[in-house]
Amino acid sequence: MSRLIYSAIASLDGYIADEDGNFDWAVPDEEVHAFINDLERPLGTYLYGRRMYEMMVGWETDPTLAGQSPLMRDFAEIWQAADKIVHSRTLEKVPTKRTRIERDFDPEAVRRMKASAERDMVVGGPDLAAEAFRAGLVDECHLFVAPIAVGGGKRSLPDDARVELELLDERRFGNGMVYLHYRTRT
Could you read off the pLDDT tens digit of each residue along the chain, which spans 186 residues? 999 999 999 999 999 999 999 999 999 999 999 999 999 999 999 999 999 999 999 999 999 999 999 999 999 999 999 999 999 999 999 999 999 999 999 999 999 999 999 999 999 999 999 999 999 999 999 999 999 999 999 999 998 889 999 999 999 999 999 999 999 997
Cβ(88)–Cβ(53) under 8 Å? yes
Domain residue ranges of the chain, discontinuous segments joined by +: 4-184
Q: What is the pLDDT at residue 59?
A: 97
CATH number, domain 4-184, options 3.30.200.20, 3.40.430.10, 3.40.50.300, 3.30.420.40:
3.40.430.10
